[in-house]
Amino acid sequence: MPTDTIASLAPQVASGAIRSERLTEDALSVITRLQPSLNAFITVTADEALALAREADRDIAAGRYRGPLHGIPLSLKDLIDIAGVTTTAASKLREGCVALHDAPVVRHLRDAGAVFVGKTNLHEFAFGTTNEDSAWGPARHPDDPTRSPGGSSGGSAIAVRTGMSIASVGTDTGGSIRIPAAACGIVGLKPGWGEVSAAGVVPLSRQLDHVGPLARSVHDAELLYNVLRGAGANSGDEDDVETLFGLKLAALDGYFAERLSDEVDAGISAALALLRQQGAKISTASIFHAQDIAPIYLHLVLADAAAYHAAALQRRPHAYTDNVRIRLEMGRHVLAEDYVRATRGRQVITHEVEQALAGVDALVLPALAIEAPPIGAATVPVMGGQESVRNVMLRCTQPFNLSGHPAISLPCGSSKAGLPIGLQLVGHAGRTPELLRVARAVERVLNSRG
């Protein structure tokens, strides 16, 4: 993985030692080289990106430096509006849907001087975890193109991992930032619900959708998070990291440890042992009704998505990929009484996440229960049985879309085959900056393993 981060590049861009135009040309060059094999982008905005980069270079030379994102090449998941560019949501249904305005998050990034190299591939309408069902074809894992990069923000994860962009912005309704981040070995942050505007973003479920960054470090994720929520690009110094001494974590047990691949189980166990050795106090905690999470989530997301798509499904059903169309049709069968039950269940799960967090700084669990799955697989072997790819991929992330708590996935080593494993930390509601401080301390220890 390219090692340049926003935090390491920004001082050089600010001083003029590195020009934004060069960074942008480098990113575009990687896109040209890898796009045929990885299919990470739907739209590449090369000319616009170079124009933005030259403008950034001129402004910086004239003393108008705007902060760490100024001149940094970024990509955006292609369900976020950039004025003048088609927002496809990876669907033929939206061909010709040119955005009239920037989404608020894009406006914030533009104000911070970011350079947009293009719009990344995704699972159609963000309605899947593998990035296979895209009208532009599947995105492919950078370590093994026969595998999924995870989804739905798969193209964004590939872009960050390979250098097609320094960082990216995605969305997460059941894990769609954290799952591809874990599968591709990068950092993915789902902020607390409502912290970052989801206006100008094609919805999957407006009550569960979160917009957030995919990046190469926690510090970069923090820089982006601050800009995305309109708080400016300032953040603590990179060296301003908490020690693990006195840090209290609670490892979620039961349901969250029951369906892990052997490699993920071993990777997470080794990480927790290291964190303990470095001074973290790790207890265990449970979500008592964890078995109810998947049914609750399913009834909410299916019905919300079906409502958004109902008119288009009637009008142009064959503009969707087959799998996504059928899943949307399924959502039209959810009964109102079951939707209400799911709404009640969501409150129960939220309360239980709060209880699990009582007395600790963060919860810790895997971000993704398996390594990146083969493209086309409906099931994968897990602990001696076969598990649905979709269900097992969502298992560790979707609870915190229901509860709205901030959650972040960090790289945590890799399998024997070299496929990345992701560790997830979950913070207190309304305290995302504290979660990021914890994540930076954990990241430092995990990175120290080499």
Binding site for another protein (CB under 8 A): 289, 291-292, 294-296, 298-299, 302, 322, 326-327, 329-330, 333-335, 338, 341-342, 344-345, 348
Nearer of residues 341 and 444 to another protein, judged by Cβ: 341
Residues 89, 43 contacting (CB under 8 angstroms): no
Length of the chain equals 450
Question: Catalytic one among 20, 153, 176, 205?
Answer: 176
CA–CA separation, 214 vs 177, rounded Å? 7
Nearer of residues 210 and 299 to another protein, judged by Cβ: 299
CA–CA separation, 220 vs 8, rounded Å? 9
Q: How far is the CB of 252 from another protein (least distance, A)?
A: 19
| 176 catalytically annotated | yes
| 77 catalytically annotated | yes
Non-local CB neighbours of 44 within 8 Å, separated by 6+ positions: 28, 31, 35, 117, 118
Nearer of residues 19 and 327 to another protein, judged by Cβ: 327
CA–CA separation, 4 vs 10, rounded Å? 10
Nearer of residues 154 and 331 to another protein, judged by Cβ: 331
Q: How far is the CB of 254 from another protein (least distance, A)?
A: 16
Q: How far is the CB of 394 from another protein (least distance, A)?
A: 13
Nearer of residues 326 and 417 to another protein, judged by Cβ: 326
Q: How far is the CB of 361 from another protein (least distance, A)?
A: 28
Question: Catalytic one among 75, 152, 168, 217?
Answer: 152
Q: How far is the CB of 325 from another protein (least distance, A)?
A: 9
Non-local CB neighbours of 313 within 8 Å, separated by 6+ positions: 306, 320, 325, 328, 329, 332
Residues 369, 392 contacting (CB under 8 angstroms): yes
Q: How far is the CB of 342 from another protein (least distance, A)?
A: 6
Nearer of residues 61 and 326 to another protein, judged by Cβ: 326
Question: Catalytic one among 20, 75, 77, 403?
Answer: 77
Nearer of residues 313 and 439 to another protein, judged by Cβ: 313
Residues tagged active-site: 77, 152, 176
